[in-house]
Chain A
């Protein structure tokens, strides 16, 4: 069973079965890695925030660099109005990044390789952004679907396209992250399987590929977290500034 490259994505119960009514909310390996990621983020950033030296040490520098990195990302894409949402985007970026990175440890579980997790995050962002948009602009938020400078003849078509693209945002956002994670991990598993099946003679080439893929996957893990966060910023920018 372990040779099946999809086996690594299996979710299984750890500990007893917990049920609320009919709903199963048992603690699983996915939950375990969510908890581990959360704790890791909290520990790292708590350590980084505790020290207040003028010249930071490594962990303080790490947390402060992350802070200014996310802060710059938000102000670049969504402007100054997005400042109240900094904490959310920071948590989102860190959560996705840490989940992706913990997934890179062999025999661990990648939380973000599950569509339900990424979809819940994306749907939450989508609903939140839509609510913010309507709160800020009222019904004027619907202007988002009517780009300025479009000929009237094309307008019905454009509006339909805009609405579809707006509604597909949570799907594209969640599928992008989920598919990247799943594909990368599957590929690594496949190449790992090749190493075993080709043995000492032919196994070296896929082993090299595995090493290269690991590097690539670490890059992708960071990149996808970044993309997830920056797309959130862009959606937020649409809701806050509405200049289409």
Chain B
């Protein structure tokens, strides 16, 4: 300890005498190169500090900041695009829903129209058929009305001819018709 104090005294009074490095013990406590170490430490650390603070660290800071801002920008853009696409999706959904509604409406309208047309057509056909059926029935009625007279006429003629052929006598047609009408009346009475 005394030695160190002496060394320190020697250092600070600038009466420094070179002391051999071969003193043993801790070389750290040998003040021979203390000033050299302080001097070079000051120089190297000073240069390091100046260059780092003036040139290198600002660059790294600006790199980091520009990256941060770029990332933030990208995130913002992505967010915007996301909201936009969501909006678009909603619009599309709405359009599709509207289209579905429209299709349904059109379908229903067409259905109604078809049913209406079908009904009209059916009515028309039915009425035509009905009129035709009526006509036919009228015809049948007419025929029914006129048929007994015709039948009786035919019957009279036929009877007269048959009698002529069988007996060879000319029969008075009025007689025959009277008999026939009597027979018809009998048949009708049945």
Contacts and interface: CB of A to CB of B under 8 A. Distances in A.
A contacts with B: majority SS: helix
Interface residues of B, number: 42
Nearest to B13: A22
A90 B56 CA distance: 11
A54 interface: yes
B26 A6 contact: yes
Contacts of A68: 64
Given A42-B56, A86-B57, A120-B41, A6 B64 contact: no
Given A22-B14, A34-B41, A67 B64 contact: yes
A49 B59 contact: yes
Given A24-B16, A49-B56, A115 B28 contact: yes
B40 A30 contact: yes
A21 interface: yes
Contact of A6 (B16, B27, B48): B27
A48 interface: yes
Given A22-B16, A91-B49, A116-B28, A11 B60 contact: no
A50 B55 CA distance: 10
Nearest to B53: A87
Nearest to A47: B56
B90 interface: no
B161 interface: no
Contacts of B95: none
Interface in A141-172: none
A13 B63 CA distance: 42
Interface centre among A9, A23, A46, A64 (most CB of B within 10 A): A23
B52 interface: yes
B102 interface: no
B27 A9 contact: yes
B83 to A, nearest CB: 25
Interface of A: 6-7, 9-13, 21-28, 30-31, 34-35, 37-38, 41-42, 45-46, 48-50, 52, 54, 60, 63-64, 67-68, 86-88, 90-91, 94-95, 111, 113-117, 120-121, 178, 182
Pairs of residues from A and B, 10 with the lowest C-beta to C-beta distance, nearest first: A87-B53, A31-B40, A49-B59, A34-B44, A25-B39, A11-B33, A91-B49, A9-B27, A38-B44, A10-B27
Interface of B: 14-16, 18, 21, 25-42, 44-45, 47-49, 51-53, 55-57, 59-61, 63-64, 66-67, 70
11 contacts: A9-B27, A28-B37, A38-B44, A54-B67, A63-B60, A88-B53, A91-B49, A91-B53, A111-B41, A115-B28, A116-B28
